[in-house]
Each structure stands twice: as C-alpha cells, then as structure tokens.
A and B are shown apart, each in its own frame.
Chain A
C-alpha cells in the first residue's frame, strides 16, 4: 500500500506516496524526474544508479524509499553548484572519461563518495572502490585518471 512520506533530495524536500519497499531509484526517476540516476540492472550489480545517502554512495535500486526518508539524498543533478561543476564532474569532462556515458552518473557519484572518505586514494584503492561500477565501453583507465585528477584538485583547493 502506498504510504505518504517526505524525502530530501539535493537539499529539497519532496512529499511522495509509495509502498515503503519501492526502490528509491524509481521514485527519483519516475516521480521526481531526476533521470540522471540510471537503471542498469536493478540488482545492485552495476552501480549505474549510485546516489549519495547521508554522504555515502549507495545503489538506489537497493534502497527502499522508506529507508531513504530519514537521510539526505544527493543525485548527479545536485553536484553542480551555481553553474560550476563538481571537481569530479570537471575531471571526467577534462579527461574524456566516457564513451556512451550511460555509466557516468554512477561513476561520478561513487568517485565523489570515495574522495569524501579518502582524499588521496591509491590506484588499487580506486579500482577496489569502483569495482561495483560497470563500464561496458571499457573507459576504465580514463575514469581512474579522472578520479586521480579530481583528488589532486580537491586537495589543492582544500589547502
């Protein structure tokens, strides 16, 4: 049965009414029109639907909307501030770290999550962290490069 609740996405609160076990992904995409978060498998295996929940990267296809109601959610649409790209987005753009780009939102969100807990990840740590994100076009080396570049810029900016 549909249950009315409120969720906070990209700093805005939205009233929604869904069965509590509805995956957050569908609420974001179909109700809120935040289609930057992608469906790739619906099974938590590909990372295309990654969002930040309370700052941590989570597969939104595996998060019941009821669980999301207690945390603040950030989607790819919420990263840009005043027309300025997040350093991770900028680094993906600068390194050309996409081909079909369908995985890009999830890659960016996972990378943002990584850099929040580890500001200077090693090669191995990046690969390990992004292991759950599938890129079928094989753009992995550039994605790694983008994360390294973003880490460097964020550190410089933080200094």
Chain B
C-alpha cells in the first residue's frame, strides 16, 4: 500500500488517457480468418485525434498476431450471415452492448438479432484505453457506424462483380444486396461465402445521418435480458474452473501500515492450503473461501501503524496542504475578477465541501486467474482490460503477450473498477498454487481497499449587477478535480482554478468525476445569488445564459415540473439546477418536504431534462438518466465515507447508507432528441445536477442554506438549534 499511495498523487479524479504512437504494421489477415472463419472483415483505422484517445501504446494482437496500431474496432460478416463486432469496451450495465449492436444493424442494414459483440477481451478485441468518460457513444459507436458502412460498400462491390454490373445502382437492405434493374439479389451470407476479404478504412467515411436511422434511435431492450432474469448470466464472480481454489488476502489493519513480524507456521500446516508471501502481499488459496480465511486467521502478523487524519479534519487539511502554486493547465482566467467585484451591486462569498463517497458496485471486485504453460488468463470485472493486462504483466514480471484479460458483462463499476487489484491477487495466488484461483472481495474490502470519489473544498466569490447579471466569478476547487469546473454562465470577469493536494485516501474516477462537486458549489451559489438579486432562480439563470442548449434543457425541465411550483403544505420546497459536461446538457427540478419537528427530509419529486444529441436508444438512456438521479441522491443527501487513522469506520451496507426503495421519489426524465447534433455519452452528466437541486429545494423549504455534501445525513439538523 505504501508504494501505491506514493504513486497516486495529484489529480485524483482523472481518467487514464494516454497518447498513441502512429506505427503501422501489416495485418495478419490469414490468422484472423482462420479463427473467425471465412467472410468479410472491415477494420477502422483511427485517424482523428478523438479516436486516438481510445488507443495507446502496447502491442495489439489477435492471438498474438500484430494488427495495425490504430485499429479501434472491427467487424466480421460470416458465411452464416452472423455479424460480429469487436470492441475493447466493456459492458457493465450502461447498455452499450445493445446500443452498439443497434448501430451496426442500422448501418449495415441487417436485423438487430443477427449482430453480436465480442467485448473487452485483450486477445480478441482491439486495444482500448478503457470504458470511462462517457466515451463509448461519441467515439466507439460512430466508428462501428463507419465500419458497417464500409462493409456494406464492400458487399455491394462483391455483388457488382458477381453480376458484372456497376455498383452504383445496387441497394443494400434487409441483409441482402439487390439489383433493382434485374430484380436479382444475394444475401450477405451468400456474398461472404468462401471469401477472406479484409479492408482497412479511414475513420471518416460518410455514414447515415440520425434523421434516416431505422434501428438506431429505437428503444431496443437489453441484449441477453433473459440470461439476467434467469440468473444464467455468468459474471466474473460466478466463474468456476476445474480444480479452482478460492483466494483471500491478508489486509493490513490500516492504510499505510507496515509488516513488522510474520509467522505462518500454523497456517502452513493446513492441508490443501497455499500461503503466499511476496513483499507486502500475504494471501492464501484453499478449496473454499472459508478455509482460505481460516488459514489467514492463523497467520501471526504484526503491523506498525501510522497516525492519520480523520474525516473530521479533512477539509481544513485540504486547504492547508494545497500546492502553493497550481500549474497553468489548472487555471482559467478572463477579464479581471477584482474589477468585476468592485463594480458589483451585490457580492457573495461562500465555501462548499464534498465528502468522500464509495462506488459500492453490487458485484464486488473479483478475478479468476489461470496459468497454462506460463501464459496467464484472467477474468476480471474491470473498465480497463488492456491496462489491467499491462499491470499484470509488470507486476508478475512477464511479457504482455503472455497475459490475456477477459471481462464478462460486469455487475457495475461507476468509475470504480479501473484498477487491477483483484486480478493481481488472483494471478499471484494461482501462480503459487499451480491451479486456477478466484478472488472475490468482501463488501468490507470493497468499502476499504478500493478507492473513493475524492473529497474537496470549493471556494466561490461572486458579484452581480443590479439587473442580476453576473459581473465576477472566482472559483477555487481544492482536491476534488477539474471536471465541469468552468462556469457555463456569461461572466465578463472570471477566474477558475483547481488546486492539487496529495492524496489522503486512495481516490479515483467516480461517475461524472468532479462535475458533481463543481456543480454542487456553482449551482448552490447561483441559487443564493438569485435570492440576493430577488429573482426567481430559473429566471436568474436564464438572464445569465446565452448557450441555447443549456437554456433549452432548463426551460424543458421547468415546464415539465411546473416551475416555480405552488406550495400546498408545510415544509415544502422546490429547487432547480443545471449544467453541461462531456457534450450533454442537464437541468433538474426537485420538490422536497422537510418535517419541521424531526428535520427529516423527503424527496418527493424529481424532473430532469437531458439532452445528449441524437438519442441512440431511448429505453437504455432513460434507465441511465433515472439511475443517475437515484445514485446521485445518495451522495446528495446521506452518503459519506467516515475514516480515522487509516481505517474506514463505515465499511458495510448497514453503516454506509445507499439509496433504497423508500428513498426514491417520483421521477420524470424528459429526453430531448437532437438528431442534428452528434450523439454524446450519457452515463455521467445526468448525475451532476441532482445535489444542488435538492440543496436549493431544502433552502426554500427551511431557509437553511446547506453548503456541504452530504446535505442532510441526519435530516436538516440546524432547524432545531
């Protein structure tokens, strides 16, 4: 843990992007078709900078055969007419297996049911940096559209040659190519028969515009839905291999503790148990997890612990330990904040804080590792299979070509499954045991040894003119991150800065990153300014916004909600907030009721308008938007990781409260379909406005301004004091 802690400094929130080299290697076509069978294959070779973010150094291989470095996706049409798409992206509940399949079917003009996807397998799929940052829909989906368009052209070409006619007049539709002049047609399956045609294509081929989509844009149900409702889908945690052992890892009593003495004589005596000590790693593999735990319990290990700060002191610590001067890339400036404040009719200063929270995906971190002739195969639920492969290779001192990582459709991640911890643990134990080993983290391990959404402090100074227009905006985020840090409002004088602080708890990506923290501070502050200006919060926002898409979602949310709302009872309040990030726009309205006597909070109703360009699958999108609201209300109202001296104090579902059925309000998601705008991702942005919306509603209900997340873990306590 020591080394990990030292390495993980600075920007806790960022996704792991890397740059790509531009080397080109010959494609091993023969090998490719040997494995997939005869047919037609098309590869997308990334040329645009956006797509390059999805590629990175390291060898891409197809059963260890080199492929062009820039390939980001590929497609195969077999002799049976089955269309197979290959992507390094992983499915973990965000429903991209369905949305990508729809896109392929749409562009290739085949039935949805004939498309299957091979995902996130380092031996079978092209390199991909990871499934994060709402990148799949804006980058991977269009690539599949291009690859399908090229495959369609290729099929038309084959038919034209067959019939000895010009390809221009031929039509590809319903999985066949038709010649309208003669009326003859050939099915794709027939055209692919006996062929081994492969084509690389540049990534900028013209594709079907959203206005002409037939299968994309429709609410297709989740692929393999039946496997999920019958329990047949095999997650990583469900894998059982011949002779497999179960692994457990001895955890230090606290973060940063170092081993001072160690005695495993008793544990080693147990038959069928393998004990591994390698550096600071101590683990056991046994025929059952229970026996592995008994073995670990028999190890006498003593640790030297170090005193560490607690969640009580975290915010003052973050302020005191911020880097004296932040790097240029963390600063944005426009005009003069001093002048803007000086000329303001009203000024407002406020400080906001955001607690650490946990992802708590229901499927814990898990991995199954198997060594065969020096080669390692690891099944693990991760968002970054290729990075996991590289980390496994580096940690175990073997070449990357000897490691294969396979990701089964996973029991969620929310940004929490970037690292390869469980994979490394299973691989190390399996190597020692000479048998496959499965490691499944306990819930307590999940809450303790994974990583968190970082805590943060945000300071805002602002000024408005007498007409309610912003004159100055000064925004400083300590530790939580840069995402959506810049204000979408029109402010002539603004300064925005992210201040790095060395990590306290292991922290990393969380759905939306710091967009939630930054929106909480900004939109709470905007609400407070609206009160100062004596303007309606919606009107105040519109007065300071020229971005048409931002205005559109605000107005749509307000309209569906019935803003400004009409109070019909005691303790009732309405709130509104908005924002945009990663190419999509969100505005949220909420109604709360606070019980005057107890301070308890009831979230009654939420309306959220969301716009992410052309909608690929409205059904899947609705699930993501509603899901983000519900997940977000946890962090807004009550979720917080409590810690002291390197220990997590609430590492159980009994103590760390997550949203449950009775917390869920009436929810309306208003989806705005903009077919004229390229599709953006939707996994993250719908979460980021819910916290300030609830906070603003609570202010209206109680007159108490809550500037700290979570807002009301024990109700609105200040009411009674």
Interface set of A (CB-CB < 8 Å, partner B) = 19, 22, 26, 29-30, 33-43, 45-46, 48, 75-77, 79-80, 85, 89-90, 92-93, 96, 98-105, 108, 126-128, 130-144
Contacts and interface: CB of A to CB of B under 8 A. Distances in A.
B235 A102 contact: yes
B662 interface: yes
Given A35-B231, A39-B237, A75-B231, A139 B652 contact: no
Interface of B: 92-95, 221-222, 225-226, 228-235, 237-238, 240, 246, 288-290, 359-364, 409-412, 414, 440, 442-443, 619, 623-624, 626-631, 652-654, 658-662, 664, 667
Contacts of B290: 19, 22, 26
Contacts of A133: 660-661
Contact of A131 (B225, B229, B662): B662
Given A39-B237, A42-B442, A102-B412, A138 B629 contact: yes
A105 B238 CA distance: 13
A46 to B, nearest CB: 5
Given A96-B221, A103-B362, A138 B231 contact: no
A135 B624 CA distance: 13
B412 A35 contact: no
Contacts of A36: 230-232
Contacts of A138: 626-631, 659, 664
Contact of B662 (A46, A79, A90, A128): A128
A142 B363 CA distance: 20
Contacts of B442: 42
A137 B631 contact: yes
Contacts of B234: 35
A43 B290 CA distance: 15
28 contacts: A26-B288, A26-B289, A26-B290, A33-B240, A35-B231, A35-B237, A35-B240, A40-B362, A40-B363, A41-B443, A42-B442, A75-B231, A77-B231, A89-B230, A98-B228, A99-B623, A99-B624, A100-B363, A100-B411, A101-B93, A101-B229, A102-B93, A102-B235, A102-B362, A127-B662, A138-B664, A139-B623, A141-B664
The winner among B226, B229, B411, B619 for most chain A CB atoms within 10 A is B229
Contacts of A76: 230-231
Contacts of B662: 127-128, 131
Nearest to A136: B362
A42 to B, nearest CB: 6
Nearest to B412: A100
A35 B238 contact: yes
Contacts of B631: 136-138
Contacts of A39: 237, 364, 440
A43 B233 contact: no
